[in-house]
């Protein structure tokens, strides 16, 4: 191959979608490329002109505009344009102009069509319905088939189901005959929304579950008569999972709720019961065993010795293809387990608490979005019976025990002192309600900062109802507080994506991480802030960013498809950040959030630019979606 053709082949082969083509396709393509040069400010494509070539930017920068004249995108080296026209009627729909001196490779339409027919990846990439960012995330998902296996695949038989009026002895016989370890207890329905019909069209509702453990501890050990109806003994508060959820989600559900049997439903109908042993046989990640080990430790030293195992589990999950949601959920479950076990040890040392309390976690742990780099964000919600003079010494000691223990386990102290050791964040429920009301009704910069931390909240231990009451308060007041939403929206614009005018990366200039990009500060964190504003506006009670996007998509807050773009951007930025941390750990470096673009593959650099561009567009829309109410003037 001639040197000129080889240079064309090598350059185009570095960038998507050409980077996935096989060698024969690349060779045949390079020989048919034509080259054109455009001076800065000149038109490359004009509206409605006839087009029969795909345009590839060899060097320079190009501005793409909509039919209305509004800016659509800015492209740089390795980007393509014109494919929308080739897929439609060969008429230019998005005019293009050179922003600087630009060299364009033209690929004939016949070659373009051949590539679409010969390579599925290429075809997916150039279709209008699958923009580049979405295609990148979908390609990652395809590698995760094992991680998204539906829990229904673990089911080998239907569950044993016993009517509530059956006796303990009858239930035991049915369980034994089926060689099962549990049975679901059925009762007559009292609410048609929660019923299902059996094969004879009789309506039933799930009342509870009876397990082998129940037979040992609640029946035999207590001397319960064999003639007792099982309805009187069934475990209430039944936790279930839908059959199309993943095996990984089933595992996390069992870990969070400390259960060994998980009924599986198809809509409302029981189709099986997954036992913890089924998960263990299938699940390849060590997070399951790690959580079990956490609750078997009897000292802070024992818990601290598990810290390397957390990072090992993190690396293993990423290497085995877990999505950012799976990684974040698993690490957050592990973090809550450390906190819960430390609280149990603290109560053993200090004695029972003088009043009820809830240990609240905030930030990434509450959102189920933790990574290998994290610190503590927690607080104590105390019963309104709390009397500082009588009770605060106990709760300060409890908070100090847990905070020091978490630090020993690898969860750094919060530099902003957002921890239960700070008396400001160790208050009765009524005080927390007053905090939240004041923050919403009279937003100031300091209060907005508190909102960005405490409005992501979850219970790790204790009275969960306390956290639920605060979540309800937020969901009720925030959507009806336009001044608060306007202030929070502008606060969410303080951190911007690292893109320059020509879609080049803007690097950090802070010494240690000079010429790098902090993917948390410039990527995932502003995305989380932006999503939180929309979620609060629509009254969502979800904490996880992806679940918040589900709630947002169900409203008219954003244009159709906008939530999907944010979802793809969040997943891609999160996975690049996570993989970078894994690389650091494998190189025996302390993981951080900074990447150097020159160490990132060409295709991934382009995907990062797309994700940052999606964030930039969403931020520009934010201040228009939540304007400052005219009668109040400018928010402080």
Per-residue pLDDT reduced to its tens digit, 38-93: 999 999 999 999 999 999 999 998 998 888 887 777 888 888 999 988 988 899 98
The mean per-residue pLDDT over the stretch 353-363 comes to 97
Q: What share of the chain is helix, strand, coil (3-state, %, to 5)?
A: 50, 15, 35
Element (H, E) at 106: strand 102-108
Q: What pLDDT does 142 receive?
A: 46
Q: What is the pLDDT of residues 368-388, one digit of tens each?
A: 999 988 899 999 999 999 999
Alpha carbons 328 and 336: distance in angstroms, whole number:
12
Alpha carbons 386 and 395: distance in angstroms, whole number:
10
Q: What pLDDT does 87 receive?
A: 87
Q: For residue 162, what are the contacts with CB-CB under 8 A and spacing of at least 6? A: 170, 171, 174, 183, 184, 185, 186, 210, 230
Alpha carbons 94 and 296: distance in angstroms, whole number:
62
Q: What pLDDT does 207 receive?
A: 84
- Using 50, 70 and 90 to split pLDDT, how confident is the model at 215? confident
Q: What pLDDT does 146 receive?
A: 39
CB 627 within 8 A of CB 488: no
In three-state secondary structure terms, 480 is helix
Q: What is the pLDDT of residues 128-164, one digit of tens each?
A: 444 556 655 655 554 444 345 678 777 878 899 999 8
- Work out the percent of the chain whose per-residue pLDDT is above 90: 48
Q: What is the pLDDT of residues 105-122, one digit of tens each?
A: 999 999 999 999 888 878
- Using 50, 70 and 90 to split pLDDT, how confident is the model at 288? low
CB 516 within 8 A of CB 507: yes
Q: What pLDDT does 633 receive?
A: 46
Residue in 543, 550, 536, 575 with CA at minimum distance from that of residue 367: 543
Q: Is the pLDDT of residue 294 over 60?
A: yes
More confident site: 572 or 72: 572
Q: What pLDDT does 193 receive?
A: 54
Q: For residue 636, what are the contacts with CB-CB under 8 A and spacing of at least 6? A: 443, 444, 445, 487
Q: What is the pLDDT of residues 395-406, one digit of tens each?
A: 999 999 999 999
In three-state secondary structure terms, 546 is helix
- Using 50, 70 and 90 to split pLDDT, how confident is the model at 284? very low
- Using 50, 70 and 90 to split pLDDT, how confident is the model at 266? confident
Neighbours of 620 (CB within 10 A): 10
Alpha carbons 634 and 636: distance in angstroms, whole number:
6
């Amino acid at each position: 191959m001639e040197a000129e053709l080889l240079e064309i082949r090598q350059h185009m082969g570095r960038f998507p979608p050409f980077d996935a083509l096989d060698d024969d396709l690349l060779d045949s393509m390079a020989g048919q490329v034509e080259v054109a040069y455009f001076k800065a400010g000149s038109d490359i494509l004009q509206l409605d002109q006839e087009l029969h070539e795909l345009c590839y930017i060899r060097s320079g920068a190009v501005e793409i505009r909509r039919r209305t004249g509004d800016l659509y995108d800015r492209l740089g080296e390795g980007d393509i344009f014109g494919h929308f026209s080739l897929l439609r009627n060969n008429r230019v729909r998005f005019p293009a102009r050179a922003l600087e001196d630009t060299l364009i490779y033209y690929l004939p339409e016949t070659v373009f069509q051949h590539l679409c027919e010969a390579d599925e990846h290429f075809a997916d990439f150039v279709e209008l319905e699958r923009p580049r960012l979405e295609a990148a995330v979908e390609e990652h998902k395809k590698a995760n088939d094992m991680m998204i296996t539906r829990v229904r695949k673990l089911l080998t038989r239907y569950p044993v189901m016993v009517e509530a009026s059956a006796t303990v002895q009858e239930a035991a016989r049915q369980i034994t005959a089926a060689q099962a370890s549990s049975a679901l207890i059925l009762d007559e329905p009292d609410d048609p929304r929660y019923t299902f019909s059996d094969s004879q069209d009789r309506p039933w509702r799930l009342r509870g579950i009876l397990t082998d453990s129940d037979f040992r501890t609640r029946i035999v050990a207590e001397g319960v008569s064999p003639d007792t109806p099982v309805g009187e003994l069934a475990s209430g508060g039944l936790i279930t999972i839908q059959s199309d959820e993943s095996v990984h989600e089933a595992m996390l559900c069992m870990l969070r709720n400390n259960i060994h049997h998980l009924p599986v439903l198809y809509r409302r109908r029981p189709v099986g019961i997954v036992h913890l042993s089924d998960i263990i046989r299938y699940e390849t990640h060590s997070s399951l065993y790690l959580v079990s080990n956490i609750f078997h430790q009897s000292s802070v030293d024992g818990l601290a010795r598990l810290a390397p195992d957390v990072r090992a589990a993190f690396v293993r999950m990423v290497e085995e293809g877990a999505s950012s949601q799976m990684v974040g959920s698993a690490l957050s479950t592990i973090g809550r387990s450390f906190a819960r076990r430390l609280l149990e040890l603290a109560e053993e040392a200090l004695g029972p608490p003088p009043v009820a309390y809830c240990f609240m976690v905030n930030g990434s742990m509450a959102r189920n979005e933790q990574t290998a780099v994290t610190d503590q964000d927690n607080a104590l919600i105390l019963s309104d019976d709390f009397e500082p003079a009588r009770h605060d010494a106990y709760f300060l000691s409890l908070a100090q025990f847990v905070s020091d223990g978490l630090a020993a386990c690898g969860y750094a102290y919060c530099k902003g002192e957002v921890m239960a050791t700070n008396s400001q964040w160790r208050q009765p429920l009524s005080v927390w309600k007053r905090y939240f009301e004041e923050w919403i009704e009279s937003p100031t910069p300091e209060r907005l900062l508190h909102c960005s931390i405490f409005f992501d909240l979850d219970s790790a231990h204790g009275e969960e109802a306390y956290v639920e009451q605060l979540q309800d308060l937020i969901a009720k007041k925030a959507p009806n507080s336009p001044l608060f939403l306007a202030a929070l929206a502008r606060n969410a614009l303080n951190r911007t994506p690292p893109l320059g005018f020509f879609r080049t990366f803007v690097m950090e200039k802070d010494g240690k991480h000079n010429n790098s990009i902090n993917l948390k500060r410039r990527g995932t964190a502003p995305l989380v802030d932006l999503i939180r504003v929309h979620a609060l506006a629509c009254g969502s009670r979800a904490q996880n960013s992806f679940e918040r996007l589900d709630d947002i998509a169900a409203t008219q807050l954003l244009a159709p498809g906008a939530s999907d773009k944010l979802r793809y951007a969040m997943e891609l930025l999160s996975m690049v950040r996570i993989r970078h941390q894994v690389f650091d750990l494998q190189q025996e470096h302390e993981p951080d959030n900074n990447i150097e673009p020159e160490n990132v593959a060409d295709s991934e650099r382009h995907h990062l630019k797309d994700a940052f561009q999606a964030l930039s567009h969403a931020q520009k829309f934010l201040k228009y979606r939540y304007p400052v109410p005219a009668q109040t003037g400018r928010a402080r």
